[in-house]
Amino acid sequence: MSYNLLKGKRGIISGALDSNSIAWKVAKRCHEEGAKIVLTNAPIAMRMGEIKKLADETGSEIIPADATSMEDLINLYSKSMETMGGKIDFILHSIGMSVNIRKNIPYEESNYDYFMKGIDVSAMSLHKMLSAAMKLDAINDWGSVVALTYIAAQRTYPFYTDMADIKAMLESITRSFGYHYGKKKNVRVNTISQSPTKTTAGSGIKGFEDFYNFADKISPMGNASAEACADYCVSLFSDLTRMVTMQNLFHDGGYSNTGISMEVMEKFSGN
Ligand SMILES: NC(=O)c1ccc[n+]([C@@H]2O[C@H](COP(=O)([O-])OP(=O)(O)OC[C@H]3O[C@@H](n4cnc5c(N)ncnc54)[C@H](O)[C@@H]3O)[C@@H](O)[C@H]2O)c1
- Burial of 173 by CB count in 10 Å (0-12 exposed, 13-18 middle, 19+ buried)? buried
Given this model, what pLDDT does residue 203 score? 81
Checking 65-71 for CB contacts under 8 A at 24+ apart, the result is 65/14, 65/40, 65/41, 66/42, 67/14, 67/42, 67/93, 67/95, 67/121, 67/125, 67/128, 67/129, 68/120, 68/121, 68/124, 68/125, 68/128, 69/128, 70/128, 70/131, 70/132
What is the overall mean pLDDT for the chain? Answer: 96
> What is the tally of structural domains in the chain?
1
Ligand 1 atom nearest to CA at 121 = 31
Q: pLDDT (tens digit, 9 = 90+) per residue, 117-136?
A: 999 999 999 999 999 999 99
Given this model, what pLDDT does residue 271 score? 66
Residue 4 in any domain: the answer is: no
For residues 244 and 237, the answer to whether their CB atoms sit within 8 Å is no
Alpha-carbon distances, residue 228 vs 209, 252, 262 (angstroms): 20, 10, 25
Ligand 1 atom nearest to CA at 122 = 41
Percent of the chain with pLDDT over 90: 90
Q: What is the mean pLDDT of residues 65-94?
A: 98
CA of 93 to the centre of ligand 1 (A): 9
Bridge-partner residues for 192, per DSSP? 148, 249
User: Does 196 have pLDDT greater than 70?
Assistant: yes
User: Does 89 have pLDDT greater than 90?
Assistant: yes
How far, in Å, CA of 123 to CA of 118, rounded? 8
Residue 206 in any domain: the answer is: yes
**Is the CB of 150 within 6 Å of ligand 1?**
yes
Residue 254 in any domain: the answer is: yes
DSSP assignment letter at 58: H
**Is the CB of 97 within 6 Å of ligand 1?**
yes
DSSP assignment letter at 186: -
How far, in Å, CA of 191 to CA of 1, rounded? 25
**Is the CB of 168 within 6 Å of ligand 1?**
no
What CATH number does residue 143 fall under?
A: 3.40.50.720
CA of 37 to the centre of ligand 1 (A): 18
Residue 220 in any domain: the answer is: yes
Q: pLDDT (tens digit, 9 = 90+) per residue, 214-226?
A: 999 999 999 999 9
Residue 79 in any domain: the answer is: yes
Determine the 3-state secondary structure of 271 from DSSP: coil
Domain extent for 66: 10-267
User: Does 45 have pLDDT greater than 80?
Assistant: no
Given this model, what pLDDT does residue 252 score? 98
Residue 155 in any domain: the answer is: yes
Residue of 12, 14, 22, 210 to test ligand 1 pocket, by largest number of atoms within 8 Å of CB: 22
- Write the residue with the smallest CA distance to atom 40 of ligand 1: 96
What DSSP letter does each residue of 116-145 carry, written as one string? Answer: HHHHIIIIIHHHHHHHHHHHHT-EEEEEEE
Bridge-partner residues for 146, per DSSP? 92, 190
**Is the CB of 21 within 6 Å of ligand 1?**
yes
Which H or E element spans position 75? helix 70-84
User: Does 201 have pLDDT greater than 90?
Assistant: no
Residue 2 in any domain: the answer is: no
Residue 1 in any domain: the answer is: no
DSSP assignment letter at 159: G
